Amino acid sequence: MDVQVWIEFLKENWLVIVVALVVLFLILNFVKTVVKWALVLVIAAFIIIYSGLSLKDLSSAVSVVTEQATSIGKDQVLNVMKSRAKDAKFTQNSDGTFIITISNPDVEVTGTIGGDKVKVVSHGISLGEWTVDDTVEAFIQEATRNSK
C-alpha cells in the first residue's frame, strides 16, 4: 500500500480515529468481561472496513491525478522538444548511449542509438521511459545535426 494514501487517509479521518481510540480506552478501562473484547473487535472491524473503503477511493483518485499530471507534463515537454530542437546538444557515449540536453527549460533525453525507448527528465523530474515516436525521432535527428 502506498504511504501517501495512508497519510491522506489519516489527514481526512483523524477525528474518527481519535474518537474510536478514546472509546476503545474507555471500554478497556471500565468493562472487565468478554463483552469488552467483543466491543473492541466490533470497533476495530468498523475502522478497518471504513478505512478500506476510503483508501480504495483515495488510491484511485491519486492514480487519476498522477496520470493526468504525467500526460500534461509529457505534452509540455514534447512542445519544448519541437520548439527548442535547434538548441539541443547531442552527446554520444562510447557504450552506444546518448544524452540530449536542452538548457532553459531543462530537458534531458537519454537512450541508446537505434533503441525504441528513451528516458526523459524535465527539471530534474523523471517522466519515465517514452517510446520513440515521430516527434521524439525528429528531435533526436535535429539534435544530432546541431551537434555536428
The pLDDT score that the predictor gives to residue 20 is 83
Q: Which residue, 69, 68, 51, is CA-closest to 5?
A: 51
From first to last of its 148 residues, what are the pLDDT tens digits of the chain?
577 877 887 888 888 888 888 887 777 777 666 666 777 778 777 776 776 656 666 677 777 777 777 777 788 888 888 888 788 888 888 888 888 787 656 788 888 888 889 888 887 778 888 888 888 888 888 888 877 6
pLDDT at 34: 66
Q: Is residue 88 within 8 Å of residue 142, measured between CB atoms? A: yes
Report the C-alpha gap between 77 and 120 in whole angstroms.
9
Q: What pLDDT, on a 0 to 100 scale, did the predictor assign at position 107?
A: 83
Cell of residue 38, nine digits = 467483543
> What pLDDT, on the 0 to 100 scale, is given for residue 134?
86
Give the pLDDT of residue 54. Answer: 61
Can you give the pLDDT at residue 102? 73
Give me the pLDDT at residue 17, please: 84
Per-domain residue ranges of the chain: 3-72, 73-147
DSSP 8-state symbol, 87:
G
